[in-house]
Amino acid sequence: MFHFLAGFSAGAAATAAAPFTLPLALLLSAFLGLAWNRRFLLAGLALGCAWTGWHAEREMARWLPVEEQGREVRVVARVADLPTHLEQGARLTLVLEQAPEDLAPQRVQLYWHGRGEMPAAGERWELTLRLRRPSGSWNPGGFDGERWALTQRIHARASVAGGLEPRRLSPPRGIHAWRSSLSDAMAEAIPQPGARALAVALVVGDRQYLSDRQWHSLLATGTNHLVAISGLHVSLLAGAVWLLVGASWRCLPLLVRYYPAPLAGAWPALAAAIGYAMLAGFSLPTQRAVLMFGVLALALLTRRSLHSGHCLLAAVTLMLIHDPLAPASPTFWLSSLAVAALIVAALRWQHAPVSGWLRAQLALLVILAPVTAYWFGQIAWAAPLANAVAVPLVGALVVPVLLAGAVSLPVWPPLAAFFWQWGGWMLLSLDAFTAWLGSLVELHRTTEALPWWLALAAMAGATLLILPSRFPGRLLVLPLLAPLLLASDRGIPRGQAEVVLYDVGHGHAMQIRTRDHQLWLDAGPAGRSPGIPGQGASLSLAYSRDRAGHRGGFDMRSLAATPLCDLPSDWEWDGVRFRVLALAPSASGGCGLLVTAGEDPLLALQGLERLPPGGLDQLPPARVLVAPGHGHRDLATPDLLERIAASDVLVSTDADNRWGLPHPEVRSNVTEWGGRLWVTGCDGALSVRLGNGAEVTATERGRYWWRQARGQNCEP
């Protein structure tokens, strides 16, 4: 039986996550099953692949077709999750209850931009939507919007179209309305912003209050899983309820005669686990925890002995039956592998509780390092120390106190406020601890996301390392882990500069790094801005135009940025020369930046609003040009292109922008002058190493099956 479950889980996970098609996955399944001569394993592999492939095909069929981009429809929809508040509006998840029969999407992500009263969680609205197909930015180690849309069952993105005004049909109802009211009550009760953000995230999974500084500290210390309402919290809560109810039951001998105390505690514990998972919106880790706890409780209630590894396998199988596309999300792998590592650690070091707990944290670091390096291009070396302190504090003290406040709210709100403020006081200590530790130990970043085959090799080495010493093959640990340990960012030599033009849609975000300094010139619009560190003596922030598409990311993070025209006219960093060109300075922009490393000059003109009379004479030749006006023909004129004579012209804009940029004449002019045109919406983030040939490198997307085709404005 367990061979079948293992085969099903492996087949489903391989089909959902691997960058190959379903036929190849089925072929691989057949080969593995025949090689091990396990008929049940083979049957499970084939069924897992087929189950996931069928769900994937059905889900992709619900995505808005490319030819229906910009379609406007009148719908009746329900807000199906907590709103995410943005600087100008909010982001909502809608379930369409009434829509045209020929409309494929059923779940839509709506961007509400300050248009009257905003919908609340659980409300029903009638409104007109302008739909677009799910898409995402292509940035190194960045957020994958298409993958996220797939795992969240988002079939289209939308904005409110003109015409009839939106109309509320019913007040807030359901679990999400309750979560929203609880989030608001907690935010009002806890005065400290840092503690408030952590408390709301721990109870209802609402992470919108977390600042960039907090996120950076949590990532650097490997404690970011705590604010995702991890399965560990659910398990600890359920275990505590089980013990308390069992202990109370033993105090009543008459009841013990008829029903054993361990069985009596199982039902309330399972109810507590389900209730906490509901508060979190049934996220993937909480689903796994509830299923695993349910399997364990069922085995106990039926008087069956079940190994913890078999319990985890059964829970993962049930989760994949319910949601076969879960392996496309890193949350699935992080959650499942973390539990597997803890099970191995518990079996290996069960007779030494204190040292076993510390070794378990090291085991977690070892087993999760290949996963985080593959998905995010980073490793948090401080995680064992941070989690050894944070997990007991949060799981044993903070979460019970905060949940006591949630239970007390309907009965006595002042008591709920007391519990929440008590929990907030403890979270202030946690916030200070992670900030201090994160400042001491920097987040280890690899040069890029680890290739999947190296990640698998490192995972095999990590598994061998945490297994008992008598297990064969431990001599292979170091060779298997070596690529992971050596794949670090080796820095930039003196006299060179790395320039990255990020994919932020119809805006601009550019990072210029030298050996010891970095300059962020523009940060993109608020909703698509890349990650920007908010501190550091070697960090400078500037914007080329006073527009939301250029400085929105700075404003969203409350970062003070300087207009490009106000920077010094020229300076030098680590052998790299910078010069500001005052071409047509105005209140909103009009300056350019020339960056020269060795014999490789790059000219950034994204701040140019118009061509001044005689302004072309001020433009120097350059190897690389960041084009003005997103490739508009009135700014990227033939005379400008001829004057600069760049071999590579970079344009930052969406692949399917409504203006058709870059203009076809700009494309033909660049080609006519022997250059090459690069577009971030088509090629992803663009990297240039000045002082080392100035070769332009596009971000590799990866050929995953959920990727949509290149945009209509992209050349084949």
Q: What is the DSSP string of 59-92?
A: HHHTSPPGGGTT-EEEEEEEE-S--EEETTEEEE
Secondary structure tally for the chain: helices H, strands E: 23, 23
Cα(169)–Cα(75) distance, integer angstroms: 12
**Two structure tokens written together for 170:** 């019913």
Q: What does the CA dihedral 243, 245, 249, 250 come to, rounded to 10 degrees?
A: 20
**Two structure tokens written together for 199:** 């408390």
Where the chain has pLDDT below 50, the residues are: 20-22, 24, 447
Cα(468)–Cα(485) distance, integer angstroms: 22
Q: Report pLDDT for 578.
A: 96
Cα(368)–Cα(571) distance, integer angstroms: 43
Residue 573 DSSP code: E
**If phi over 0 gives left and psi between -120 and 50 gives alpha, with beta otherwise, what is residue 497?**
beta
Alpha helices in 82-189, H assignment, sequence order? 145-151, 175-189
Alpha helices in 377-476, H assignment, sequence order? 383-392, 399-408, 413-440, 452-466
Four-residue CA torsion sign, 262, 268, 274, 279: negative
Contact 434, 217 (CB under 8 A): yes
Q: Report pLDDT for 134.
A: 86
End-to-end CA distance of the chain: 50
Q: Report pLDDT for 284.
A: 64
- Other beta carbons within 10 angstroms of residue 412's beta carbon come to 10
**Two structure tokens written together for 705:** 């099956």
Q: Report pLDDT for 21.
A: 43
Contact 501, 690 (CB under 8 A): no
The residue behind tokens 């803890």 is 342
Q: What beta strand segments (E) does 135-239 contain?
A: 156-160, 167-170
At residue 255, the 3 state secondary structure works out as helix
Q: Report pLDDT for 32.
A: 56
The residue behind tokens 């071999």 is 647
Contact 130, 79 (CB under 8 A): no
Q: Report pLDDT for 20.
A: 45
Q: Report pLDDT for 710.
A: 57
